[in-house]
Amino acid sequence: MKEKSVKKILTKCSYVLFVVVFGYISLNILFADKIHSYKIVQLLPGMMVGGVVVAIGMFILSKIVQEKIDRHFKKVLIVFSIVYYIVLIRMGFLLRFTPSFDMDAIYSGAIQWTNEGNFSNFYEYFGYFPNNLGSMGFLHIVFKIASLFGIKDFFTVGIIVNSALITGTAVIVSLICEKIAGSKTALMSLILVLLCFPFYFMGAAFYTDSLSLIFPVLFYYLYLCLKDENDKKKQIIYLVTMGVSLTIGMMIKFTVVIVLIAVVIDAFLCIPWKKALLILVVSLAFYGVAVSIYNHNIYKNYISDEQYQNLKTPYWHWIMMGLQNNGYYNPEDYEYTRSYEM
């Protein structure tokens, strides 16, 4: 009885902490951004009214009898996906802008690579920041596919694909919640997504954060499926898909590796150690092979290895930058790092 009481108190505390952190981040995104000139005054009222109305409607739905939720959840998820996707695309067009800084490099580099077969205008940039080569390569593949159909408005393509990735992330999160705690909790996760204002601004900002968003979530969902699966063939399919999703995510944004660490810890605690070890080995093998092939192609056909060695930014630079102020790009940190011979 005492353990249940403690668990109940801890659960409520975690809820309160989540609301505070979630609210702070949402408000900070909307009002504390001094860099981007989003039209907050025009967009915010409609977003808030629309989001709150839909959230209230879905909250009422969540109070309906559990059996009805279970029966109609898939339909709700489909409707949510379509409507949310359309809204993100519309917001992306409203917020369309001329890319600059890092996003310009991966966007314009991908376009040049698609049109001319190289990204020579950005060799120096990617020599300094090879961490963004994966995201540029991802956009290059997307733009190349679009160009095969005669599509040349690559920014529109970026908005459509990026909005699909964000929508897919929301859908997979709800499926994770359904798998762990049932359809009612899954419905509540969709309500939280609707109230997560930063997502509405990400459609047009197809940079590493949004491009990689779906892959760690997909990796975790596939892991949950793997845990419950006994069929050997399906287990292999899940393992391979996990390796592919993690590899793409880590190549776009390396911090996706965090989900691998979390999953491996859970796996060693909850499933046979051989199976847990297999997840780790397969995931790292896929990533290692993919990165080796991609880097070999880049440094053999585009950026010279000598140029890379002379220009690359050391890992400790990012640690230093993250410890300064808000963790933003800081010209002084950059100049300090460049004052040393690499």
pLDDT above 70 for 308: no
- Clarify whether residues 202 and 247 are in a common domain: no
Average pLDDT, the chain: 82
- Clarify whether residues 54 and 151 are in a common domain: yes
Lowest-pLDDT range, 165-174, 295-304, 331-340?
331-340
pLDDT above 60 for 33: no
Q: How far, in Å, CA of 126 to CA of 109, rounded?
A: 9
317 is a domain residue: no
Of the candidates 248, 240, 241, which has an alpha carbon nearest to the alpha carbon of residue 214? Answer: 248
Q: What is the DSSP letter of 313?
A: P
Domain boundary among 212, 229, 258: 212
Q: How far, in Å, CA of 185 to CA of 166, rounded?
A: 20
- Clarify whether residues 185 and 237 are in a common domain: no
pLDDT above 70 for 47: no
- Clarify whether residues 73 and 159 are in a common domain: yes
- Clarify whether residues 180 and 226 are in a common domain: no
Lowest-pLDDT range, 52-66, 276-290, 291-305?
52-66
Query: What pLDDT shows up at residue 36?
Result: 47
User: Taking a C-beta distance cutoff of 8 angstroms, is the pair 107, 217 a contact?
Assistant: no
Domain boundary among 212, 235, 256: 212
Q: What is the mean pLDDT of residues 195-224?
A: 89
Q: What is the mean pLDDT of residues 266-291?
A: 88
341 — pLDDT class (breaks 50, 70, 90): low
Which is higher by pLDDT, 309 or 254?
Answer: 254
- Clarify whether residues 93 and 157 are in a common domain: yes
328 is a domain residue: no
Lowest-pLDDT range, 143-152, 208-217, 310-319?
310-319
Q: What is the DSSP letter of 252?
A: H
- Clarify whether residues 183 and 260 are in a common domain: no
Lowest-pLDDT range, 50-59, 118-127, 167-176, 274-283?
50-59
Q: How far, in Å, CA of 170 to CA of 166, rounded?
A: 6
Query: What pLDDT shows up at residue 296?
Result: 86
User: Taking a C-beta distance cutoff of 8 angstroms, is the pair 199, 47 a contact?
Assistant: no
Q: What is the mean pLDDT of residues 208-232?
A: 91
Domain boundary among 212, 246, 272: 212
pLDDT above 70 for 59: no
- Give me the number of domains the chain comprises: 3
- Clarify whether residues 58 and 91 are in a common domain: yes
134 is a domain residue: yes
Full residue range of the structural domain in which residue 11 is found: 1-32
325 is a domain residue: no
- Clarify whether residues 197 and 279 are in a common domain: no
Query: What pLDDT shows up at residue 37?
Result: 46
